[in-house]
Structure 1
Amino acid sequence: MGILERIHEPADLRRLSPRQLEELAAEIRAYLVEKVSRTGGHLGPNLGVVELTMAIHRVFSSPKDAIVFDTGHQSYVHKLLTDRQDFGKLRQEGGLSGYPSRAESIHDIVENSHATTALSWADGIARAFELDGAEDRRAVAVIGDGAMTGGMAWEALNNIAEDSERPLVIVLNDNGRSYAPTVGGVVRRLEPVRRLDSIRVNRSYENFMDWTKQTLQDAGTPGKMAYGALHSLKRGVKDIFVDAGIFDSLGLKYVGPVDGHSIQDLEEALTLARDYGGPVVVHAITEKGRGYKPAEEDSVDRFHAVGKIHPETGLPVAPARFGWTSIFAEEINVLAHENDRIIGVTAAMLRPVGLGPFSESFPDRVIDVGIAEQHSLTMSAGLAFAGFHPVVALYATFLNRGFDQLLMDVAMHRAPVTIMLDRAGVTGDDGASHNGMWDLSLAAMIPQLRAAAPRDGTQLRAFLHEAINVNGPTLVRYPKGDVPQEIPAIRKVGDFDVVGERTAQLPGCNVAVVAVGAMASNACAAVDLVAGDVGVTVIDPRWVLPVSSSLVEYLAGFDAVVTVEDGIVDGGVGTEIELALERSGARLPVERLGISKNFLSHAKRDVILEREGMSARAIAQAVSQAAGVRVRQVL
């Protein structure tokens, strides 16, 4: 039996010798490579935090001490150390989540995987500990993997840095990267202190630790330091290194930089921070992908997230297919060559959203703002004011964080900004926080915003060209995964397309199916499954918001309408169509299909669509039911 198999709770770590800890770290890395290579997942970030997570659990006592991970994708090691060692179905239905999950363990606190939130969570928890007089409890925020580029982290730091004694430890996991090398002034300010060479050459860190140990011994109470010793430690914490970077300028106590792969150094630094009695930053230098040669040699994203791979080589089991993203990547690069006023904008995800080729062609015209969606949108409004056309490429789930900026800075000012939302709708394996299912409901609330949803790759290319020529805000959303076969229009009616049709054999049962974007494939497949003599016309509205008057006029000629969208059913496109029909005076039944107002557990996209009643069969049943209702009303 290996050491890992004997770890059932964090307390088990404290019984291990230094040699056993090194063996455990090696076992964990081997386990992660073996298991994640079979399922896919966030490999690089977790290989980089093995020793750091072990040290945290040896120094702090979870769940009494609250450990909050930001971002949550670096929590695999934490899961292994808290009695979750079955990674066989990682990120699959019935298996472990790829992020912390309260349903899995009392050691997990924050479930959502959106970056930059941990400091605010931990500050709130620390405030509660302080108010309750819980002097023996600590809140620990593990932040990194680029998250310090996010504005919310600095809002939290501004409050944490006020004069306080809150029991809060900020562990900065500094690997210099998010998906790719981290950008911005924060990185430049940290760079002089993050070099590991300084730890090996400058002896002040080791000298300070020796002084600390002697102080504790002199105090006579190593576990609970006497006041005089504590006061001395408070004076000395920030002076481990002369340059404590930006944290020193905020007045925060600072320990580091510490070798994030030395358990001994980490434990000494974390113990000092734990016993200080107020907010302390522990700056740990880690290496993303540590211990796995293919990741270490990868200069792009250090195997941030992988599909199924061959563990020996790191090569994918199946050829990588980037589907919708690759089409956007090709087309925006073409447009950039034709139009020098186009600017690409991304939030720490240059290559995942497809702006890599554009950046290679025109490095001065692609802006990576870091994990800062709010800034990306308002900055883009500024670019638009000055005569450029920004194309902001985001994952759909992350648009949520920039809603106010989209509403007040972009839309209210009619800024010609195009927002490309990758991974819209159901993403599946990434779990509740990464489903991009709120974007259409959000867009429906925003005046002067035009939203499009392509049904296939040809339409995606067309929408990008159309959006660039709109003198106002536009949004184009498309899902994760493979692109379906092209769905040609049977005919065009006004500004929308008819893409599927079957003639009714009986009067009073002509049903229109309005299929939003990628749902056109299932809607067309449903035509042949509809029961009886019902007539079916599948309509792709193309620009789905706002609802066009020509579409409303056309729909009024049917006996019933079914809408289907890969987004929240309440408040989305279907709701807007129903309201538009009512305002026009049309009185016909409307059945709206979409995602229920719930947080969805991780599962395959097709499984979730089936469960949410959006499969071809479910659409066919809805059509038949709508036609039956109409016939009964007529009779």
Structure 2
Amino acid sequence: MIIKPGKLLSKINSPDDLKKYSKDQLVQICDELRQFIVDNVSVYGGHFGASLGVVELTVALHYVLNTPDDQLVWDVGHQAYGHKILTGRKEQFHTNRIYGGLSGFPKRSESEYDTFGVGHSSTSISAALGMAMASKFKGDKSKQHVAVIGDGSMTGGMAFEAMNHAGVSDTNMIIILNDNCMSIDPNVGALKDYLTDITTSHTYNRVKDDVWNLLGKISKFGSSAQEIISKVEGAIKSAVLKQSNLFESLNLRYFGPVDGHDVHHLVEVLADLRDIPGPKILHCITVKGKGFAPAESGNKTTWHAPGLFDKVTGEIYKKPPTVPQAPKYQDVFGHTLVELAKGNDKIMGITPAMPSGSSLNIMMKEMPERAFDVGIAEQHAVTFSAGLATQGLIPFCNIYSTFMQRAYDQVIHDVAIQNLQVVFCLDRAGFAGADGPTHHGAYDMAYFRCIPNMVVTAPMDESELRSLMYTATKFQGPFSIRYPRGQGVMPEWRTFMREIPIGQGRIIKEGEEVAILTIGHIGNYAVTATNILAEEGLKPAHYDMRFVKPLDESLLHEVFAKFKKVITVEDGCLMGGFGSAVLEWMVDNGYAAQVRRLGIPDAIIEHGEQIELHRECGFDPEGIAQTVRDMAESVIEK
């Protein structure tokens, strides 16, 4: 299905085309751009509310800036659909987030307008400052550098570190704070309250009109512009005397708040700020989902990435189940944590801004005093958990695998060295699907198994997840449990929880000639593969190892004493992962066998459906089966 853009948008293939239109036509362009996003996402899926909220800002930025020479950096990138459409990717936009198509995030290799690859939050100010400092070093005083960052991303520590540096950088840099009181879930914390205070402050709003009136006259004053700028600063600072401003205290000139949906005013403001030297911040107030009533007034979390929907009624399409469905792993985690917490008053829940995505919101609703959303602050989430653990509590620190990377030092320094009982529940482990390489949880088994004191586990199904969570409450030390995005395999998942001996695997299927060792949910692919092979007369054995660290040594002795052909399967990186651990053990214990490792290769794997990416890497059910065939044939030949 080809979706046609509106009359004006159809003629825009670059920001140069956009500049050919008058300011009066920008409102129509914004309307057409917003409708084009609605039309496409309703049919093909993708992130939604964030891009609708910055349509006017996107148009104004490309209208005023000289992109791509001027550097425009989007934080996270959920909101960059309009940017992609205006920068030559309109005809390909229907392939967004589809295997082999456009990335759902800005990507340097995709377009010269994508100045920095993103997907994780709070990186834009650092990146833009690096670009600005490079321009300063080269003597280029005309180039502009703009970081667009949401109020949710502003809670990340990197953003404050970067602003602290930017304030003393003397660079041409504009930080645009896109304030919509949302990340994926509603924002939390003192910064949210502070931004609300600024937005509603009578002091700031009284001075705002005078400030912008002065700014609007800069171009008329020629050589006197610096005097006007000085007056602008004086006006703002006089307000600061009445109400302290966080950004001004970091030596960033603060302007705003302004209406982020008034494209005419945004064009005027950005044109003026472009001519003011030094680092500055523009505070824009926007509405996530702006212009699409169900998203604008409905549940903002739902409309972050709603899936397919009816663009007229706003009805989100749900495929009716034909048979009882297995739950999502995240929901099993959420309900099981509440179940455990009811029987153990030491258990606490922590997540960095992902209560809905991780299902910690179930505990937050039922036990609000024992569950914490700490904002987009993974480092803090880990050390906060460590602090709880020092006082005898048992924190379940629930972080997506890809975001756990952001707190690696804290895991080592604050948890492992002190051998504290913190349970790390790593959601979205393995391939994240359409979100692509910035969100794939490929590395956690490798980077956790090298940490002393750390137990590394992965359940093959929902029952094992529940039992591993229970086991973690009994273990006095750091304990990690990884599980993938999406559904499990057990419609009847509320099973009895038992303590699993640390480092104990299990035999799924006895066999001959070839042994398949799996870790985690991907073991279900091996079950499918062995069933396929049984029809062909091949009978490989299958072992669910459960633990990457410590490995089940008695089980491995059994495997390598019996089999000379072994396959390891993991939905994690091969470099240093589960298969590497098995090979190391084999060598250290004097065994010799032919071992084939299946998993994520030493490469950046792009976006697509999980099964498409598993197939690409050769560990889908057929890939496993073919590997068994290949190895069995080599046995017969010899």
Correspondence 1:618 to 2:623: yes
Correspondence 1:521 to 2:549: no
Partner of 1:136 in structure 2? 142
1:208–1:240 CA contact under 8 A, matched in 2: no
Which amino acid is the alignment partner of residue 512 of structure 1?
A
2: distance between equivalents of 1:129 and 1:237?
Answer: 28
1:232-263 C-alpha deviation (Å, 9 max, x unpaired): 55555656776463102222111011111112
Alignment of 1:375-454 (within 5 A): 375-454=380-459
Correspondence 1:476 to 2:481: yes
Structure 1 residue 465: deviation in Å? 1.3
Partner of 2:497 in structure 1? none
Structure 1 residue 65: deviation in Å? 0.5
2: distance between equivalents of 1:15 and 1:439?
Answer: 49
1:294-352 C-alpha deviation (Å, 9 max, x unpaired): 11222452611121122233332125986111211211121122222111101111111
Which amino acid is the alignment partner of residue 616 of structure 1?
P
2: distance between equivalents of 1:247 and 1:501?
Answer: 65
1:485-530 C-alpha deviation (Å, 9 max, x unpaired): 5899xxx99922111334x3xxxxx221101111111112222444
Partner of 2:543 in structure 1? 539
2:109 to 97, 103, 111: 103
1:342 to 330, 347, 359: 347
Which amino acid is the alignment partner of residue 410 of structure 1?
V
Moved more, 583-592 or 552-561: 552-561
Partner of 2:559 in structure 1? 555
Partner of 2:496 in structure 1? none
2:330 to 316, 325, 346: 325
Moved more, 240-249 or 208-217: 240-249
Correspondence 1:496 to 2:505: yes
Structure 1 residue 168: deviation in Å? 0.7
SS at match of 1:219: helix
Structure 1 residue 574: deviation in Å? 0.7
Which amino acid is the alignment partner of residue 537 of structure 1?
A
User: Size of the alignment, in residue pairs?
Assistant: 618
1:181-229 C-alpha deviation (Å, 9 max, x unpaired): 211111122221123x859x94532222222334432326xxxx75555
Alignment of 1:278-317 (within 5 A): 278-301=278-301, 303-317=303-317
1: distance between equivalents of 2:144 and 2:615?
Answer: 44
Which amino acid is the alignment partner of residue 112 of structure 2?
I
SS at match of 1:433: coil
1:255–1:269 CA contact under 8 A, matched in 2: no
> Structure 1 residues 575 and 32 mapped into 2: Cα distance closer, same or farther (>3 Å)?
same
Which amino acid is the alignment partner of residue 522 of structure 1?
Y
Structure 1 residue 568: deviation in Å? 0.4
Moved more, 404-413 or 236-245: 236-245
Alignment of 1:24-103 (within 5 A): 24-86=29-91, 87-103=93-109
2: distance between equivalents of 1:218 and 1:21?
Answer: 27
SS at match of 2:558: helix
Moved more, 201-210 or 326-335: 201-210
2: distance between equivalents of 1:238 and 1:119?
Answer: 23
1:458–1:486 CA contact under 8 A, matched in 2: no
2:216 to 204, 213, 228: 213
Moved more, 608-617 or 260-269: 260-269
Correspondence 1:567 to 2:572: yes
1:112–1:432 CA contact under 8 A, matched in 2: no
2: distance between equivalents of 1:572 and 1:84?
Answer: 38
1:588-625 C-alpha deviation (Å, 9 max, x unpaired): 22111111111111111111111101022221232233
SS at match of 2:51: helix
2: distance between equivalents of 1:406 and 1:23?
Answer: 51
Partner of 2:600 in structure 1? 595
Unaligned runs of 5+ in 1: 505-509
2: distance between equivalents of 1:124 and 1:539?
Answer: 49
Which amino acid is the alignment partner of residue 152 of structure 1?
M
1:456–1:486 CA contact under 8 A, matched in 2: no
Alignment of 1:131-280 (within 5 A): 131-162=137-168, 164-195=169-200, 202-219=205-222, 227-229=226-228, 231-232=230-231, 235=234, 243=243, 245-280=245-280
Partner of 2:363 in structure 1? 358
1:119–1:157 CA contact under 8 A, matched in 2: yes
1: distance between equivalents of 2:237 and 2:629?
Answer: 71
Moved more, 122-131 or 410-419: 410-419
Moved more, 457-466 or 376-385: 457-466
Correspondence 1:462 to 2:467: yes
Which amino acid is the alignment partner of residue 519 of structure 2?
V
Which amino acid is the alignment partner of residue 559 of structure 2?
L
Partner of 2:515 in structure 1? 512
1:585 to 581, 590, 596: 590
- Using the aligned pairs only, state the percent identity: 36
Moved more, 417-426 or 299-308: 299-308
2: distance between equivalents of 1:62 and 1:244?
Answer: 35
1:40–1:305 CA contact under 8 A, matched in 2: yes
1:29-52 C-alpha deviation (Å, 9 max, x unpaired): 222122111122110111111111
2: distance between equivalents of 1:594 and 1:95?
Answer: 23
1:515–1:541 CA contact under 8 A, matched in 2: yes
Structure 1 residue 630: deviation in Å? 5.2
1:41–1:306 CA contact under 8 A, matched in 2: yes
Which amino acid is the alignment partner of residue 495 of structure 1?
Q
2: distance between equivalents of 1:564 and 1:154?
Answer: 41
2:449–2:548 CA contact under 8 A, matched in 1: no
1:362-411 C-alpha deviation (Å, 9 max, x unpaired): 11111111111111011101100111111111111111111111122111
Structure 1 residue 2: deviation in Å? 1.4
2: distance between equivalents of 1:218 and 1:618?
Answer: 70
2:216–2:268 CA contact under 8 A, matched in 1: no
1:153-193 C-alpha deviation (Å, 9 max, x unpaired): 1111111112x321111000011111122111111222211
Correspondence 1:8 to 2:17: no
SS at match of 1:72: coil
Q: In angstroms, what is the RMSD of aligned CA positions?
A: 2.5
SS at match of 1:108: coil
SS at match of 1:351: helix
Structure 1 residue 102: deviation in Å? 2.1
Structure 1 residue 467: deviation in Å? 1.5
Structure 1 residue 74: deviation in Å? 0.8
After TM superposition, the score normalised by the length of structure 2 is 0.92
2:449–2:455 CA contact under 8 A, matched in 1: no
Structure 1 residue 472: deviation in Å? 1.0
1: distance between equivalents of 2:27 and 2:302?
Answer: 23
1: distance between equivalents of 2:40 and 2:237?
Answer: 41
2: distance between equivalents of 1:238 and 1:626?
Answer: 74
> Structure 1 residues 150 and 554 mapped into 2: Cα distance closer, same or farther (>3 Å)?
same
> Structure 1 residues 262 and 500 mapped into 2: Cα distance closer, same or farther (>3 Å)?
same
Which amino acid is the alignment partner of residue 279 of structure 1?
P
1: distance between equivalents of 2:151 and 2:193?
Answer: 15
Which amino acid is the alignment partner of residue 385 of structure 2?
S
> Structure 1 residues 626 and 226 mapped into 2: Cα distance closer, same or farther (>3 Å)?
same
> Structure 1 residues 239 and 39 mapped into 2: Cα distance closer, same or farther (>3 Å)?
farther
Moved more, 520-529 or 36-45: 520-529
After TM superposition, the score normalised by the length of structure 1 is 0.92
> Structure 1 residues 186 and 289 mapped into 2: Cα distance closer, same or farther (>3 Å)?
same
Structure 1 residue 552: deviation in Å? 2.4
Structure 1 residue 534: deviation in Å? 5.2
